Structure 1
């Protein structure tokens, strides 16, 4: 009966994914509305408008055939890599970092685009690689070069959080591609040994301070530990039910820094409490379940790696941001998708949604229907 009323083309869209995302983004707009003192400007209205613009972009991406994705993988990767070099040469400097290109209507952060571009390039690389070469260390060298060059450029901006996110997304694709588990264990052990060296010689002073404060934020509660301290106060004061919509004192009295971006979850938790947090987590878990089922039912290796990498890219945003605002990870400046204000991050996550929608469509055409 529903299909008689709703056109077939509309009914076939994955609304079980899109409607929860719309609800989450609208909830994020409500959080931003409150953070701005019960005003749609300057964040809430733009946040909602950007969602629909990027949702249209996701629909367009989902219409591209699989062969187009394969052919465009390396050109897209190369184009974003060129943008990273442009940022290094002429990018806008803000907060001591050089990460943005001024497009007039928005500040574009190319390092955000490298996250899905990296997943796409590695999925194409391992799809074309003969199965017998997957476990050959020579193939790992080529994949390492694909990852290493942009990651080093991003970390030099400096943007350690985004650089690590690029590496994490790449590592997931490598794991799904079938690289030996022993290699990951060895790499993890080597990184653990290198942490003191990296802390001493590679991290900038402010990055070292973030690590130190993460370990003991109460050592400087009015200085370097201020962000984390105020965030935990905001989350804890919300309790189970929250203080009520528009009644958050930490954000409204400007005790909570970056209440509309990096610490938007703390702004939400103060007013909506644990119940609000459960809603946010429930939507994210639904998205991940949907994304990984798409990856598992994909008709070929390329599609599976692409969907798995896109899903984990979204997961990394959520996990690091929530750990950060609760004091369980260093502050690295990663926003919470569909809740925090920010155009580049929202665009990246909607690109990942568009990719998942595309693979979902390929699944339907191959007869592997998602229930």
Structure 2
């Protein structure tokens, strides 16, 4: 009988056992460790930057931290639920989301010229459109997973109808940024589902007349002005072009290493409007420079990469469609915000994920990552939903 004479053998086994136990613990909690770590770093960085961007406001910081904590709880709870159970209740969630959007249109709370919130005095104020960013891909993934792929014309029309109802309701609020994100989240499900290229080229071709029709019949005056400002911000430097000019000035003044935390002038001297919401990356760029922006982009890329890995490893069609849509919609979040703040895209009011102030958006984002974790940690479930 042979015996292992290596004195480090027991120690090696012990270390491996410890690693397995740690992995097993995370699996039992249905939490993806790497994704959780990245989200915690992003959340902490967001609070750090928000404190400066809000003019050292502890009130906003506490509210954001509370929303982040609530979002983590929601993420943990959703991660415990099997994807097939989530899929079972998706139609009800979609109908509820549409009804809430109708309620906003009928009796919503108006602020800054837009009616986007439901306000229950003394209880809660929330933005139902944010929830549709999650309900939309879940609904389309549920519908498409029950059909043969790639989708035929009938299923494509029904899918577009499911996307179109909340899109129009959100557009009426008006909230073009959120409406476009809801549209993108549904479109990504169709793309991952193998939508034929002729339909994609057809949609791109139709985008031109649709854009013209939206310009004349749908878009409000301030939205048209945003497009004109995007094309030539210097045409009205003290009016509609002020935001983007000051934003680019703040980012450029940061240089490579930035001016230092709490040392930004554009935001602290009130040159930069909406510095704690849509334009918060300008504050980051001014105070932490190119290095800070690159570090943030690296974190975002790691989150997106992890989401794509989860998508590739999903064992069900529903899981692949949903995980792929959530991941690519998160990419659109980041791309659109940074693009509009740097002058590459028109300003459409899309917050920077985990960095911009906004409770409902933060809770919705973390809930979406809870869905990703559920898909990844319940991979033993292989039944067709």
TM over 0.5: yes
What is the CA–CA distance in structure 2 between the aligned matches of 1:108 and 1:314, rounded to whole Å?
A: 21
- Say whether the 8 Å CA contact 1:317–1:335 is kept in structure 2: yes
Q: SS at 1:42's partner residue?
A: helix
- Say whether the 8 Å CA contact 1:36–1:42 is kept in structure 2: no
Q: TM-score normalized by structure 1? A: 0.94
Most deviating of 212-221 and 24-33: 24-33
Equivalent in the alignment of 1:237: 253
Query: Which one of 222, 231, 245 corresponds to residue 238 of structure 2?
Result: 222
Count, aligned residues: 363
Query: Which one of 196, 202, 215 corresponds to residue 186 of structure 1?
Result: 202
- Say whether the 8 Å CA contact 2:188–2:329 is kept in structure 1: no
Aligned-residue Cα RMSD (Å) equals: 1.7
Query: Which structure 2 segments of 5+ residues have no match?
Result: 1-14
Q: TM-score normalized by structure 2? A: 0.90
Query: Which one of 158, 161, 171 corresponds to residue 142 of structure 1?
Result: 158
Equivalent in the alignment of 1:369: none
Most deviating of 303-312 and 9-18: 9-18
Q: SS at 1:157's partner residue?
A: coil
What is the CA–CA distance in structure 1 between the aligned matches of 2:45 and 2:192, rounded to whole Å?
A: 33
What is the CA–CA distance in structure 1 between the aligned matches of 2:124 and 2:281, rounded to whole Å?
A: 23
1:131-166, Cα deviation, whole Å (9 max, x unpaired): 4xx442111111111011110000011111111111
Query: In the alignment, is residue 267 of structure 1 matched against residue 289 of structure 2?
Result: no
Query: In the alignment, is residue 254 of structure 1 matched against residue 270 of structure 2?
Result: yes
| Shift of residue 36, structure 1, vs aligned partner | 3.2
What is the CA–CA distance in structure 2 between the aligned matches of 1:4 and 1:190, rounded to whole Å?
A: 53
Q: 1:106 to 1:268 in 2, by over 3 A?
A: farther
Query: Which one of 23, 36, 45 corresponds to residue 62 of structure 2?
Result: 45
Query: Which structure 1 segments of 5+ residues have no match?
Result: 367-371
- Say whether the 8 Å CA contact 2:244–2:343 is kept in structure 1: yes
Q: 1:204 to 1:273 in 2, by over 3 A?
A: same
Alignment of 1:152-191 (within 5 A): 152-191=168-207
Equivalent in the alignment of 1:77: 94
Query: Which one of 68, 71, 82 corresponds to residue 54 of structure 1?
Result: 71
Q: 1:67 to 1:257 in 2, by over 3 A?
A: same
1:91-111, Cα deviation, whole Å (9 max, x unpaired): 101111110011445421111
- Say whether the 8 Å CA contact 2:177–2:350 is kept in structure 1: yes
Q: 1:182 to 1:100 in 2, by over 3 A?
A: same
Q: Which has the larger radius of gyration?
A: 2
Query: In the alignment, is residue 340 of structure 1 matched against residue 356 of structure 2?
Result: yes
Alignment of 1:100-139 (within 5 A): 100-103=117-120, 104-131=122-149, 134-139=150-155
What is the CA–CA distance in structure 2 between the aligned matches of 1:7 and 1:139, rounded to whole Å?
A: 41
| Shift of residue 4, structure 1, vs aligned partner | 8.1
Equivalent in the alignment of 1:89: 106
- Say whether the 8 Å CA contact 1:311–1:352 is kept in structure 2: no
Query: Which one of 16, 22, 42 corresponds to residue 24 of structure 1?
Result: 42
Q: SS at 2:378's partner residue?
A: helix
- Say whether the 8 Å CA contact 2:27–2:377 is kept in structure 1: no
| Shift of residue 23, structure 1, vs aligned partner | 1.2
Equivalent in the alignment of 2:8: none
